[in-house]
Amino acid sequence: MTEELPFRVRSWYGLPAEIAVGRVWHWVKAGPVPLPHPGLVDLHLRQGLPRRERERLTYLHEQGHLETLPLAALHGVALGMVGRRRKGAPWWARVLVGLLAWLAGWELFAEFYTVARTGSRYTRLYRKARTPMPTALFFWVGMWLLAVGGSMWMWKGSEFRVQSSGFRVRDSGFGVRSKEES
């Protein structure tokens, strides 16, 4: 954790938080709940950036987690709903894949927030610093595969499907016919 006082923020939906960023450990206190955690994504993704810029982007990333919490919660609820109905996989595999997909999605949401807040400066910083390409590529491709691939895997085997309403369309002259007319 940094020697500085935590940075105080308030999310768009009103949740107060404090963010402190260290080289390896980050500390976020969201409302009354302290959430110390290792900054593994930031440790790898921000390699090669000047210290001040690395810390600024990391603070924004942590704030991005706070700002995108409702979206992450929706993603988690959706994964939980389809995961409960998933066939052909043991419960522990569904939990593991669901958690990985959810966490990877939340990391992407937070980094998209960081990109949106910094704009074109984000890409300029990374080009100027000449960060190791494999780490950035690993983050973006890896998180995308975990988030999207894991979510699709959860959805694929579930019985959670949209049911047909039985609504029938008559021939409108555009080649659309009901089952009765076929």
pTM of the model: 0.80
Please count the CA atoms within 13 angstroms of the CA of 144 that sit on its side-chain side.
Answer: 7
The pLDDT of residue 1 is above 50: no
SS3 132: coil
pLDDT in tens, 43-52: 788 888 888 9
Per the CB < 8 A criterion, the answer to whether 19 and 28 are in contact is yes
Query: What digits encode the pLDDT tens for the residues 75-119?
Result: 999 999 999 888 888 999 999 999 999 999 999 999 999 999 999
| CB distance 72 to 25 below 8 Å | no
Bridge partners of 20, per DSSP, are 27
| Helical residues (DSSP H) of 119-132, grouped into ranges | 120-129
